[in-house]
Amino acid sequence: MAKVLIPIATGFEEIEAVSIIDVLRRGGIEVIIAGIDSESNNNLIKGANNIVIETNLDIKNILNISSFDMIVLPGGWGGTTILSQNIQVQNLIKEFDVTKKLIGAICAAPFALSKAGVLKDNLKFTCYPSVEEQIPNSSTRYIDNFKVIQSENIITSRGPGTAICFGLYIVSILISNEVKNSLKKGLLADFCD
């Protein structure tokens, strides 16, 4: 079974996190939600719009990435800022990149990839409009008219309105196009092409 790590921090974008987690689980992917400092909050993390998510564990407990196929970072500027400053998260992103495992980021979260040094100058990406201004050398790499972009092992998406499409794309990569198409039909997500 494919397995994805989703780190979340206070101020994460709820639509993105919940949509991605839901679509991946519907697709048969095991999702582990790891909170930043969630142990001090009884494994609860509050999003940008005061919706609370219960995490599976604290990010400090992820000691080995070998069982994971991918890491996916939801956006939300508050959560992204924490992800970009948290040493554990930054080291995990680098480890996923060094081992050529898949790395996903949506909305503001490509900023955290940039901080980790994995959004290299030769990679195309998308993100929430205006976030690209915070990412060095983005003028020739940022693409604003696609819902999801994959460049090597990095998969990025634009924001809340593209979260289902992002999740479906990940399902197509980790499971199959057949499962993705079945989910797409059931979710009435014809807008995800």
Torsion region of 154: left, alpha or beta (phi above 0 gives left; psi -120 to 50 gives alpha): beta
Domain ranges in the chain are 3-186
The percent of residues above 90 in pLDDT, for the chain, comes to 91
Per residue in 117-170, pLDDT tens? Answer: 999 989 999 999 999 999 998 888 999 989 999 999 999 999 999 999 999 999
Q: Among 107, 127, 165, 192, which one carries the catalytic annotation?
A: 107
Question: Does residue 121 contact residue 141 with C-beta atoms inside 8 Å?
Answer: yes
- Predicted pLDDT of residue 148: 97
Active site residue 107: yes
Distance, in Å, from the CA atom of 46 to the CA atom of 53, rounded to the nearest integer, reads 6
Q: Give the pLDDT of residue 141.
A: 93
pLDDT, average across residues 66-80:
97
CATH number of 3-186: 3.40.50.880
Q: Classify burial at 145, counting beta carbons within 10 Å of its beta carbon; exposed 0-12, middle 13-18, buried 19 or more.
A: exposed
Strand partners, 72: 104
pLDDT for 38: 66
Q: The tokens of 7 are what?
A: 């780190």
